[in-house]
Amino acid sequence: MIRSARRADPEAAIGFPPGASPRPHLELVNNGLYVKREHFIPFSGEARAGEKRRVLHLLPYTYFDPDYYYLGSCKDHDGRQQFLRQSGVPFDTFAHLKNRQTFETEFSFFPPLPDYTHIIVDMSLGLKELSFLRRRWPRAKLIVRSHNPEIMHRIDYLIALRRFGGKEERRIAGRKFLAYCAREIGVARIADAILHIETANTGIYWRALGFFGRVLVAPYFLSDPYLNSIPANVRRRNQVLCLSSSHPGPLIFDMLANFHAAVLGLKDRLPDFEFLATADAPKALAGRIAPRVRHLGFVDDIMRLQAESFAVIVPSDLGRGFKTKILDAVICGAWVIVPPGLMRRMPEALKPYCAVMSMRKPGAGLEQAIGELKARKWPGGDPNATLRTEAYRSLDQAILR
C-alpha cells in the first residue's frame, strides 16, 4: 500500500487546488464542479491544423484522488491521457463518480458539449450508461477499455473467496457475478472497438460474447510521470518483495497467503535474503504468517522500494488482466517471480525478466527461482517502450484511422 501525502475525506469533494494534484496536466477549471464531486476538464492544448476529431475520455473519479495514484488501473488510465496529449487530437476528460449518479444527471450539469467523434470508456459501465452514450452521441465511435476479461476475472475472484470469504460474502459475490456478466454482454452489444489489456486469447473471449467489432490489444505501459519517479543509482539488496494493494481483497489475500507459505517452506534456507510485504498482515491470514516475512505497512516511495529489491514476487495465478506491478518491478530493475499460469499469460516482452516458481512445493519453488535468477545476466532492451509502442499502435488504429 502507498501512503499519500494527502489522504482523501470520503465525504468531501475530491478536487484539490492547483498544484496539489499529482497530475498537474489535469488541473480542475470549474470550482462549481468540486461540490458535485465531478471532474470535467475541457481541452486546453493546441490541436493540429484542420483537425476535425474530438474525443471524450471517460474515467472513474479515483483517477484524480492522490490516494489512488499507484493503483494499477489509475496508472493504466494515464497511458491513454498521455497518448491523447501527444496525438494533437482535442479531447475532453470527464471523471464519473461511480454508483452515485447516472450519466444523464451528471451531464445535465454541463453546458452543451461538443459533437464528439470518439468516446473512450476507461471504466466499467453498465448497459444503461453505455446506451445513454450511444443515444447522446449516436455518430461517435465508442471505444471501451477492457482492463480484464471480466467474467474470467470474477470466476477467479469467486475461487479466492472460497478460501477467504464467509457464506454471506460468497452469496453477494455470486449475485454480482451475474451483473458483471451482463455488463460484458452489454459492451459486446454496443461498443465499436475494444482496447483489450491482455495479449492472450483476446479475440476468443470477445467473440464468445458475440462481439464482432475491432478487438485491439493495448497492453499496459508506464506513462512518463511514473517513469520519472523511478530513482537512479539505488543500491540493490537481497530482498524479495510482495506488493499488496490499496484495496486488498480475496485475490490479494490469496497472493499473500501463498507468499507466506513459500517463506515458511524455506525454513532457514537462504539466510542472506529478507522477505518483505507492503501493507499490514491482513486478519484473513491469521495462523498462516511466516515469521521471516516483514510487513512494512504504508510505503511512501513504492518505486524506490522496488528498485532496492532483488525480486518482486507475484505468487498467484488468480486474477486476470495485466499485473501492472510486474512491469513496474522490471522497469525499476528488479527480477520477477511468478507461478506457471501467470507466466503463460504474460506479454512476451516481460518473460526474459521473470522466473517460474512451482506452487506444488512453494518453499522449494521459491528457492529454485531465486537461485535461477542469481545465475542470470540482466536482459537488455526496454520492455516498457515495446509495450507502449503496441498500445499506441492500437490507439492509433482506434482513433486516428
C-alpha–C-alpha distance, residues 245 and 400, integer Å: 35
Question: What whole-number distance in Å separates Cα of residue 75 and Cα of residue 384?
Answer: 13
The residue that leads in pLDDT, 157 or 31, is: 157
Q: What per-residue confidence (pLDDT) applies to 30? A: 37
Can you list the domains of the chain with their CATH numbers?
24-223+387-400 (3.40.50.2000), 226-379 (3.40.50.2000)
Report the predicted TM-score, pTM, of the whole model to 2 decimal places.
0.87
> How many whole angstroms separate alpha carbon 347 and alpha carbon 339?
15
Query: Does 275 have pLDDT greater than 70?
Result: yes
Distances (CA, A) of 202 to 76, 188, 189, 215, 322: 18, 13, 17, 7, 12
Q: What type of residue sits at position 166?
A: G
pLDDT in tens, 202-250: 778 899 999 988 999 999 999 999 999 999 989 999 999 999 886 788 9
Assess whether pLDDT exceeds 90 at residue 33. Answer: no
pLDDT at 12: 31
Where does the pLDDT of residue 24 fall: very low under 50, low under 70, confident under 90, or very high at 90 and above? very low
Q: Which of 143, 148, 151 is nearest to 214 (CA)?
A: 143
C-alpha dist (Å) from residue 9 to 40, 97, 171, 227, 243: 20, 15, 30, 28, 25
Q: Are 80 and 116 in contact (CB under 8 A)?
A: no
DSSP string, 169-227: HHHHHHHHHHHHHHHHHHHHHH-SEEEES-SSSHHHHHHHTT--SEEEE------HHHH
Q: Average pLDDT of the chain? A: 86
d(CA 240, CA 259): 10
pLDDT tens digits, 93-119: 988 776 555 667 777 766 678 899 999
Average pLDDT over residues 144-166: 91
Read off the pLDDT of residues 333-371 as tens digits, 9 standing for 90 and up. 999 999 999 999 999 999 999 999 999 999 999 999 999
Give the pLDDT score at 107.
72
Range in 33-37, 43-47, 234-238 the model is least confident about: 33-37
User: What pLDDT shows up at residue 291?
Assistant: 95
Is residue 87's pLDDT more than 60?
A: yes
- Cα gap 282→289, rounded to integer Å: 10
| List of residues 6+ apart from 19 with CB closer than 8 A | none
Q: Are the beta carbons of 334 and 311 closer than 8 angstroms?
A: yes
**Cell (9 digits) for 275:** 522477505
Does residue 49 have a pLDDT over 50?
yes
The amino acid at residue 236 is R
Say yes or no to pLDDT of 42 above 90: no
| In 247-382, alpha helices (H) | 250-266, 302-308, 324-331, 340-345, 362-375
Average pLDDT of span 153-162: 93
Indicate the burial class of 360 (C-beta count within 10 angstroms; 0-12, 13-18, 19 or more). exposed
Nearest to 217 by CA among 228, 226, 206, 227: 206
Answer whether residue 267 shows pLDDT above 90.
Answer: yes
How would you label 277-304 residue by residue, b for 16+ Cβ within 10 Å and e otherwise?
A: bbbebbebbeeeebebbebeeebeebbe
